[in-house]
Amino acid sequence: MSYVLVCLTANHRNAGFDLLDRLSVGAPGAVTELISAEAGITGAVVVATCNRFEAYLDVEGVDAQAAVDRTVAVMSRAGEVSGAELLEAADVKTGDDVTRHLFAVASGLESVVVGEDEIAGQVRRSYDQARTEHTSSSALDRLFQRAAATSRAVRGATDLGGAGRSIARLALELATSRVTDWSRARILVVGTGSYAATTIAALHDRGAVDISVYSATGRAQMFATKYGVRAVAELREGIAAADVVITCTARYAVSPAEITDANRRLVIDLGLPRNVDPAVGRLPGVELLDLEIIALHAPLPEMGLSETARDLVGSAASAFAAEQTAAPAIVALRKHVFDALDEEIARAESRGQGDPAGTAKTVEALRHLAGVLLHTPSVRARELTAEGRGAEFAAGLEALFGVTVDASADAPVSPLRHAAEVTAAADAPVGGMPDDEFHRSLRRNA
């Protein structure tokens, strides 16, 4: 059965941070509720970061609007926002636009800070969570795996990978006008996740040495030992001893009650959901920098760098679309070859001759050989489809093998066949190209 990809995206460009904040609290936990036969949603991955909330859907057999309506209903209820507010703020993308959008997001091209370091990991963790919760699908698996490969290719072919871009670094740059000497500043980092580690690295680059860390989960000491900072046991104690407080945790952490003095201090809230009660910014002596303020000061991307990266993303999206179009022909060819192989293996086994162990090795070798032989025709099918010549490949299959391509069917592949193909292309990302060939194709098509 045919499918269509759908994406509902609310991000820093089309939605306020207050809406994103509310969605990020409850909506990611409601992903399993999205799966619905009635709405045709067979797979879902939700990406919630500090500047975006997106639901990627695999929709089959119904109009995409039914899937959008269900997503709005489920996510707005879980995030405690009105459905009308979410629908008004969000954009809906379908088909190839979803592919291009996710590839751009994973490559950091749609972030507040273009080319930010963290986004690829955030997208990967969202996909991993969907896999763990069994809400992904084969179509979404292919999409997100290729998005990861595209992100690596873009960073390898441009300067994005070594640019050290992140919201944390932008926040520290903005804070430099308030902190004249980072080596003398007393800093408390609230949180012990990957974002906290990134923040500490950025602080070290600025010359900060007096850094402590607090965690509501009890992980502070282990984290502090790993990153060469100090652990504090009590949040109020840590805040009282700090000139700068930086929050980057999934937990709501700082309220006015945690600040028990009127000393001057800078509080930087990098969290979404919001880590700091906005009322903290109204306390005497406290200046609060949150994501909304930080986003207003995001630098414009370098024109040449951004254009090159977007060209690469466009090439990757086009290649992926061609692969999906070519898939029925590739499946038909592989089914034909492995059906013939299975019949011959069955005949050989029925004779009951020879050494069983030797026969098993021969069968394994034959399956591997079949996978190797199918690799080049599969690549050619994608290349021809990308050139608008996919019908020629299908006609060739019928002329040579009598194989008719059913564009509406997605023929199943047995586990043994799948294992053979995986073994034959062990170094290839989704789409069958080795990484170096995939990277070259991006540069060639840019």
Kindly report the average pLDDT of the chain as a whole number: 81
Query: What confidence category does residue 321 fall into, taking pLDDT thresholds of 50, 70 and 90?
Result: confident
> Which CATH code, of 3.40.50.720, 3.40.250.10, 3.40.1280.10, 3.10.180.10, is assigned to 167-296?
3.40.50.720
Query: What confidence category does residue 123 fall into, taking pLDDT thresholds of 50, 70 and 90?
Result: very high
The proportion of the chain whose per-residue pLDDT surpasses 70, expressed as a percent, equals: 82
Lowest mean pLDDT of 36-45, 77-86, 243-252, 340-349, name the range. 340-349
Overall average pLDDT of the 412-422 stretch = 39
pLDDT at 103 over 60: yes
Overall average pLDDT of the 82-108 stretch = 92
Q: Residue 305: what pLDDT? A: 56
Q: What residue segments make up the domains of the chain, in order of their start? A: 3-162, 167-296, 312-445
Q: Residue 407: what pLDDT? A: 62
Q: Residue 85: what pLDDT? A: 92
Q: Residue 414: what pLDDT? A: 39
CA atoms within 13 A on the CB side of 310: 11
Contact (CB, 8 A) for 393 and 381 = yes
Kindly report the CA angle at 161 between 160 and 164, in degrees rounded to 5? 85
50 belongs to the catalytic site: yes
Q: Residue 307: what pLDDT? A: 75
Classified as helix, coil or strand, 186 is strand
Q: Residue 306: what pLDDT? A: 64
Q: Enter the pTM of the model.
A: 0.65
Q: Name which residue leads in pLDDT, 30 or 433.
A: 30
pLDDT at 391 over 80: no
Amino acid at position 321, single letter: A
| The token pair that represents 277 in the structure block | 């009660």
**DSSP run (H or E) holding 379:** helix 356-386
Q: Name which residue leads in pLDDT, 374 or 352.
A: 374
Q: Residue 443: what pLDDT? A: 46
- Residue of 255, 316, 264, 330 whose CA lies nearest to 105: 316
3-state secondary structure 131-166: HHCCCCCHHHHHHHHHHHHHHHHHHHHCCHHHCCCC
Q: Name which residue leads in pLDDT, 199 or 416.
A: 199
pLDDT tens per residue, range 222-234 = 999 999 999 999 9
Q: Residue 353: what pLDDT? A: 60
Instruction: Specify which of 108-112, 234-238, 355-359, 433-437 reaches the highest per-range mean pLDDT.
Output: 234-238
Q: Residue 284: what pLDDT? A: 92
pLDDT tens per residue, range 126-158 = 999 999 999 999 999 999 999 999 998 888 777
Contact (CB, 8 A) for 48 and 26 = no
How far CA 76 is from CA of 216, 274, 287, 350, in Å, comes to 28, 18, 32, 60
List the catalytic residue out of 50, 90, 220, 270. 50
Query: What confidence category does residue 301 fall into, taking pLDDT thresholds of 50, 70 and 90?
Result: low
Lowest mean pLDDT of 231-240, 324-333, 352-361, name the range. 352-361
Q: Residue 252: what pLDDT? A: 66
Full DSSP string of 47-115? EEETTEEEEEEEEESS-HHHHHHHHHHHHHHHHT--HHHHHHH-EEEETHHHHHHHHHHHTTTTSSSTT
Overall average pLDDT of the 381-393 stretch = 72
* CATH annotation of 3-162: 3.30.460.30
